Chains A and B, each alone.
Chain A
Amino acid sequence: MRFINVFTVAVLAFMIASCMDKKEAPAIRPFAFNDSGMRVITTVINEKDNEVAMLYGNKAAFDNRSQPEALFKLVTYREQDNKFWFGSYINGELLRVETVNMQPTASGQAPAYSVDVYNQPAFRPADAAARTNFIQTLDRAWYPCDPY
């Protein structure tokens, strides 16, 4: 009798676990940034502020960062715990997208810098020239399939 009980419990537990597994839909964060065909140049982690940023660039940005056709977007996310792996942080909420457009340099002007802020009401923009310099001088990560 105990034999039957033990295995009935096991089979029922397995069935319940299977059903729960199927019903429990993961709450995946909506994809927040459209790269519009730009590629990732590098990734920067700011541990102090719990942020991770991905620098995207167009083809011109990969070829020569200073040319007027170059366009950069630094996309910053809040880091959060990876729910499925303790020991890892993952990109969470989108915080801001900073854009550096080199077009004005064709007429001798400074690159155009702008920032779109999301989910970060207390954000205060930093000096545009300093941010442009930071973005422009981030080194490219080594990818096996580059150049562009």
Chain B
Amino acid sequence: MKISNRLKIISVSAGIVLAVTAVLSFTTKVVDNLPVTGDLEAPAAVKEIFVRACYPCHSNTANLKWFDKLPGVASMVRSDILTARKHLNFSEWDKLAPAAREAALWEAYNMINSGTMPLPSYAAVHSAAAVSAAELTTLRNYLLTKRKTVTAVKQDTVQQAATTLPNPLPTSLTGIQFMPEFRQWEVMSTTSRFDNTTMRVMYANPIAMKAIREKQIKPWPDGAVIAKVVWDKERDKDGYIHPGQFQNVQFMVRDAERYKSTDGWGYAKFETKALKPTTTLLVAQSCASCHKAAAKTGGIFDLSTLN
């Protein structure tokens, strides 16, 4: 008799909990879906992939499942969506400049291709978000239609005037001072971008170079610094591509504790020949977010591989 009463109490309690949970999961409003002011324009097959894999978080058209609204889960989902929209919102596509739109698409592809996006925890419970190998090919082929070619013409002979560094040396908001000594570091790699029209040379300081040689980059040791110098490309009359207008120097400084919020890397960017540091910390957050796609090499994209 006693057991029967206990069972009854447990059953009723469980029923109440289930009922409350059910009500909450169907009535909780996790995020507001603000108006769509502009939308991605792309071939149907391409757009369908972005809509399915990215829009649930990266747009104002969130269509959440019942389990996304469960108590405890809803707050995580809300946080993820708000962060995602801040980084890229396909429903506010019109607010991006044309170059930024294209950059966003290349980045989106690379985030998907690396398995960084959709977030693995999200993809595990939202099977529709998965992007197949065939769909990645569809995206790649679409992006190749947006491949950039170099049209800037190089003058026959360019004399570079001696440069004068600002005094004091500029410092970024992340506390990283411009390091002219990078010119004495070894070259780590050089890249030629065709998602834009820039070329780059990457330098590694002795700590970073030692880590590369010893394959100790997961994680990179504190004190490792990578410098990246960026120019626009110019084509000469024989078809060779050369560094044209200088764009910026970027630094990544490894300090696992200090830069914990950006995966252990501090980011700094010094733009134009005046070496003006970027004036917002959002840039560093944006760098860190994108560099998650290079998790296999500890956050560094530009390492040559045996492939």
Name A residues whose Cβ lies closer than 8 Å to a Cβ of B: 3, 6-7, 9-10, 12-14, 17, 21-22, 24-29, 31, 35, 39-40, 42-48, 52, 54, 77, 79-92, 137-147
Contacts and interface: CB of A to CB of B under 8 A. Distances in A.
A92 to B, nearest CB: 6
Given A3-B70, A24-B296, A87-B110, A52 B305 contact: no
A46 B192 CA distance: 11
Contacts of A29: 303-306
A25 to B, nearest CB: 7
A27 B306 CA distance: 6
In the A-B complex, the 9 residue pairs with the smallest Cβ-Cβ separation, listed nearest first, are A87-B195, A45-B241, A13-B124, A141-B243, A145-B180, A29-B304, A27-B306, A10-B124, A139-B158
Most buried by B among A27, A85, A143: A85
B121 A10 contact: yes
27 contacts: A3-B67, A7-B125, A13-B123, A21-B296, A26-B297, A28-B217, A28-B297, A29-B303, A31-B213, A39-B183, A45-B233, A46-B240, A52-B192, A54-B187, A80-B304, A84-B296, A86-B109, A86-B143, A88-B302, A89-B191, A89-B194, A90-B190, A90-B304, A92-B304, A141-B246, A143-B183, A147-B163
B275 interface: yes
Nearest to B183: A145
Interface string B21-38: 000000000000000000
A2 to B, nearest CB: 8
A144 B304 CA distance: 25
B256 interface: no
Contacts of A27: 305-307
Interface residues of B, number: 72
A98 to B, nearest CB: 15
Contacts of A46: 239-241
Contact of B163 (A86, A91, A145): A145
A54 B143 CA distance: 29
A106 to B, nearest CB: 25
A110 B187 CA distance: 30
A21 B295 contact: yes
Nearest to A146: B163
Nearest to A140: B160
Given A13-B120, A14-B124, A87 B143 contact: yes
A35 B121 CA distance: 45
A27 B307 CA distance: 8
A22 B217 CA distance: 11
Interface centre among A27, A52, A84, A145 (most CB of B within 10 A): A84
B301 A142 contact: no
Contacts of A144: 163, 165, 178, 180, 246, 249, 270, 273, 275
B199 interface: yes
B201 A10 contact: no
Most buried by B among A29, A83, A87, A140: A87
Nearest to B297: A26
A81 B229 CA distance: 20
Contacts of A86: 106, 109-110, 113, 140, 143, 195
A26 B217 CA distance: 9
Contacts of B120: 13-14, 17
A92 B159 CA distance: 30
Contacts of B209: 31
B212 interface: yes
A31 B143 CA distance: 31
Nearest to B113: A86
